[in-house]
Structure 1
């Protein structure tokens, strides 16, 4: 288990803030041992909660070009056929995964291939499960073409709490299945758009593990 690079600055700043807060409590309430202990315990709880958010466990990826892996840890909240209006402009099968603040927030590529399209969109911060969050929130859209010519679209979506999307890929880049391609801070959602004849391997409410759970099988 390691700490993700996106957490280094935040964790350092938080450590300084909490240290100053504890110093202030001791300075202004020098005789109150209860206040000292409360401040210390509260600081430890806050720091550990933020620390666990940036955890980055090492995982084993079982490569299979016919399978679509979950792009993130979370819960399946949408499985439906819908019109994808940004890139395909046709009906696609959508699988959406909601990531709570307690999930690992590393975003992984569901398939291997060539990044045919990548775009960042500034936007709103509606709650991640809102139907319009997929088209109105801050988001990125990535389309990967597999070796068999199948195009898969993956969309990072910021939520009401998650207000910072990071990505590490660009168009015309080759990527591996399960490769880390981004990170979303503090709660979010990922949408995957597949061909309509794709066989879905998960159900609404299922818990996924990024890079390990098989969410669909390509034909």
Structure 2
């Protein structure tokens, strides 16, 4: 049984509380139009910061989606920034109506958390992928492979929240952060992963299976990962 929790991310409390207070103020003053506008904004904030429970698929080698949204990129790339290797990149675009709480795609050990300040272009654009502010997590999986998942700010996103630090252990499907008001998450997997999604497909964080990890990596990196 899942433990009951408040179904709203705590990062949303200041926004929801402030809007609700303003709604109440205008209501008590009898000023109808601003009261209705702030009431609608309060409902939008409640919906935006919703944090529903998810049911994580049981197979540990299956990569679950780190975000709700739509697949906009699914292709092999050379990743010089995070894994320093050939990788398969999957990008998930989140619009303002998606759940924005992010979840770990796999279990493993956090090696690096890389933050870069940047621009705020539309998250689903080529410029957004290259120049926007981001926070990337590089993680070692028990198979010996490294993967990376990267939170990227969007046109109206101004706050990336990542709760992870180097040497943290994280469990597959567990919450690791969120991005306020629209953006995207990029995922870098081993190039020989068994990819199970395609561009245009809609996915749910912690539940949708994006790929299956390859067999255990041979060589020194694998043995060190298990020691």
Contact 2:23–2:36 (CA<8 Å) still a contact in 1? no
State which of 1, 15, 21 in structure 1 corresponds to 2:20: 15
Which 4+ runs in 1 deviate beyond 4 A?
none
Aligned counterparts of 1:179 and 1:191: Cα–Cα separation in 2: 17
Q: Please report how far the alpha carbon of residue 85 of structure 1 lies from its aligned counterpart in structure 2 after TM superposition.
A: 2.0
Partner residue, 1:174: 169
Partner residue, 1:4: 9
Q: How does 1:58-97 map to 2 (within 5 A)?
A: 58-97=53-92
Larger Rg: 1
Aligned counterparts of 2:16 and 2:47: Cα–Cα separation in 1: 11
State which of 103, 112, 115 in structure 1 corresponds to 2:110: 115
Tell whether 2:129 aligns with 1:124: no
Query: Runs of 5+ in structure 2 lacking a partner?
Result: 1-5, 215-227
Q: Please report how far the alpha carbon of residue 17 of structure 1 lies from its aligned counterpart in structure 2 after TM superposition.
A: 2.5
Q: How many residues align?
A: 209
Aligned counterparts of 1:89 and 1:118: Cα–Cα separation in 2: 15
CA gap 1:44/1:172 in 2 versus in 1, 3 angstroms: same
Aligned counterparts of 2:201 and 2:49: Cα–Cα separation in 1: 23
Aligned counterparts of 1:160 and 1:118: Cα–Cα separation in 2: 23
How large is the Cα RMSD of the aligned pairs?
1.6
Aligned counterparts of 1:146 and 1:88: Cα–Cα separation in 2: 12
Q: Deviations over 1:177-204 (max 9, x none)?
A: 0110011001010000111111111111
Q: Deviations over 1:94-138 (max 9, x none)?
A: 000000110100111100010111111111101101223233211
| TM-score of the two chains, using structure 2 as the length reference | 0.86
